[in-house]
A and B are shown apart, each in its own frame.
Chain A
């Protein structure tokens, strides 16, 4: 058994010390946030300023990531897009975390009619392939950044509801919950003051794993034309616009926003994996 256990954990290192990969991904996330916050100050050019004489120029010393079809600096647009994409993903995850955890906690603690209604609603949302539902929602709400946030948040909601409901339900009969109840706390205080904070670490891991997915979701919607609209700098739109010039050999219009997307998703995924291994060794899956 010992040998087997060793083999399972080999390569993941000591759980109490963050391994190099998790530390690196954490640094990546901090760097992304810094770029997003400082975007207007570090972008070398105006991300919306066109320069027709200098359109579709390959990467050079003046334009590190080249220029697009109207001569806008791709590097500056990437920086500006970092802010928008992170803001969308973060808002969506926070929204579904807030709503989902409250709903799930109440359902898990009280049960009853509300629990059954919410459960049915969750089943219905999960009967759709996620991204298809997101497309339908974005189309119905009519595009724009707020629409993407809502679509991404709704699609994500079932997972937070289910997770919180299950975790709260599993703890509801524990001795320390009983103690809180006997100390005279009302159900509201027991759920939101005692149970929910206890479940938060599990939810935080889920949220950080979710951020990468939310970025992909938002970029995918914009790529399809149901999300943020051009000329706003956004990674998905930049890829969609650049795709038209790809078979003319203008690879940088697709490659750089694609790289930005990949690095951002990778950073959040690896950080989430690392956090999960530390906080919840049971749930370790590859």
Chain B
């Protein structure tokens, strides 16, 4: 109970600490949109030949005719009501569009993150336990090459090999075969919804579509994770307390997993923020390569059409997701390292 209270207090404190940066994020996104080329009022006008009166009227309605600070306040007020503006391309509120597509993006990002961690941690540990062996060299090559091959190139090459050459992967566009009925939308996560609907065919199809994009994304974030895990584990296994544990005759399994890995997790978690930043950024490229119907594809399409409200909403949403994930990492960091005071 006391532990829970403490966690709540930490979350509250961290959220409060994130407020100035979040306000800065709002200012930056607002300023960027004021710089963006194109005039939303003329885009919204009924026809390209709309008269200046009509455009002026739309400008007034959008609050685009006031001074900049006033416009910023209007923007903040709209945000407070969950209003991110209107997309000219889809004709819907941007918030609605984003919420509709967010599960697709999150499903891809989370599956990739879990896969990357699940492969990187054991590989890094194994390499550190057997330094200078074939396995270790292999892991170092993966760690070095993985950050050097651009995500979009990895994705395209996987498509070439597994779809075009071998025919193992389904058509690399979208989340589900177009001839398949999607399961009823409950969470928006196809893997979860198809299970809830007890529809194994849809689950298999959704999983098959997900394999290549998730693998592409996972490969890119796996490399830094493997590198840091290996280095941190090497250091942990050489530390005094691991030597002491060994000398006390504690079993090797326990020494490695409890005394070694737990210590090694702390430096791994310190780079987690960078890894998440990379993950979110690379997901944009992966969505583009695989025509994945997530929030990144949505805002890139809007950007190409000169429709900027979705871009603004997307950038804001990504920054929010990043802040939240950083908070989660921060909590994990405090739990992993008992020396960090829970203040």
Contacts and interface: CB of A to CB of B under 8 A. Distances in A.
Contact of A286 (B227, B288, B303, B304): B227
Nearest to A242: B156
Interface stretch (A94-102, A123-131, A179-187): A123-131
Nearest to A219: B150
Contact of B319 (A1, A120, A121, A127): A127
Interface string A224-260: 1110000000001001100100110101001101100
A140 B32 contact: yes
Contacts of A216: 150
Contact of A8 (B25, B153, B234): B234
Interface in A129-144: 129-137, 139-142
Contacts of A124: 21, 24-25, 27-28
A240 B289 CA distance: 9
B131 interface: yes
Contacts of A134: 281
Interface stretch (A29-37, A47-55, A264-272): A264-272
A61 to B, nearest CB: 24
A258 B149 contact: yes
A226 B32 CA distance: 14
Nearest to A143: B37
Contacts of A223: 150, 152, 285, 288
Interface string B276-296: 111011101100110000000
Give the interface SS of chain A, mostly helix, strand, loop or mixed.
helix
Interface string B260-273: 00000001000000
A261 interface: yes
A286 B230 contact: yes
A220 B144 contact: no
A237 to B, nearest CB: 11
Given A239-B153, A243-B152, A270-B144, 15 more contacts: A8-B238, A123-B24, A131-B278, A140-B33, A223-B288, A224-B284, A239-B150, A243-B289, A247-B159, A251-B160, A257-B153, A258-B150, A262-B145, A262-B150, A269-B148
Interface of B: 18, 20-22, 24-25, 27-29, 32-33, 35-37, 131-132, 136, 140, 143-145, 147-153, 156-157, 159-160, 163-164, 227-228, 230-232, 234-235, 237-238, 267, 276-278, 280-282, 284-285, 288-289, 300, 303-304, 308, 311, 315, 318-319, 322-323
